[in-house]
Amino acid sequence: MFTATLIAKPDTLDATLVENLRNAWGGGEALWLSHAEAAEFTMPVPPDNLWAVWDDMQTLGIDLVLQPSAGRRKKMLLADMDSTMIRQECIDELAAAAGVGERVATITAKAMNGELDFEGALIERVGLLKGLPESIIQHVLDTRITLMPGGYELVQTMKAHDGFAALVSGGFTAFTARIAAALGFDENRANKLLVTDGRLTGDVGKPILGRQAKVDALQEITARLGISESDVIAVGDGANDLGMLGRAGTGVALHAKPSVQKECEVRINHGDLTALLFIQGYARTDFMT
């Protein structure tokens, strides 16, 4: 069996639309996970017109996900941080505070869309931060970083059901440590900005955590927990996330770059991070808040 999940912004999902799609696809009775926000139904086989309907739903501000019903509730969350668990790219915010924001943001966008080598792009961008006082990190954390909606509910709900949550970022440990603590992640991994005499050196600790390091984290943590990679739901938005998104049981492209979306079967463009709970079959009444 397969489960189709429709997710929209609160109070915008039309019941008639859900019923019409259920009937067209020969699905079972619709189950509402959140009133006028999220609904699901099962069907015996995937429809031939899935992606045509997906395109139609996008124009209406609705995310549509189809996946096998069995095993969709996962035991582990593996999440990117920048533009995923937080709204910003940390290095862009550091650069903006340093007065080189536009230049760094351009490099970041190209790297996240897969147009530049991630490691080389990171080294170049960090080099532009050389000489900044270390205190700029705390300033950016306090004044420029905001959480992505739904992140706390996602982490806490999965943990309440015996799940494990790992934050793995190509960003920096100074940021992942704070975000992991705020949201309740069990573990966090990232790159380390090097500091000498209270100022950024313009270099980053080696080895650099990039695309392969995220795959390694997936392998290492699942082995340690004694679970399968199919028990993992992974979420990210950039090209350096594609390795872990492809290996995880469910890989979610969240408000992702076009090149990333093309490689992922599960794409969330309108919902927030609670969409990852809805596609696992959690109702809003199950959320830990």
- Per-position DSSP letters for 168-221, written without gaps between them: EEEEEHHHHHHHHHHHT-SEEEEE-EEEETTEEEEEE-SS---HHHHHHHHHHH
**Is the four-CA dihedral 166, 169, 171, 173 of positive or negative sign?**
positive
Looking at 11, 56, 82, 117, which residue is catalytic? 82
**Does 216 participate in catalysis according to the annotation?**
no
**Does 80 participate in catalysis according to the annotation?**
yes
Nearest to 234 by CA among 220, 210, 254: 254
Single-letter amino acid code for the residue at 48 = D
- For 151, half-sphere exposure in the C-beta direction (CA atoms, 13 angstrom radius) is 27
**Is the four-CA dihedral 128, 133, 134, 139 of positive or negative sign?**
negative
Looking at 80, 92, 237, 241, which residue is catalytic? 80
- Active site members: 80, 82
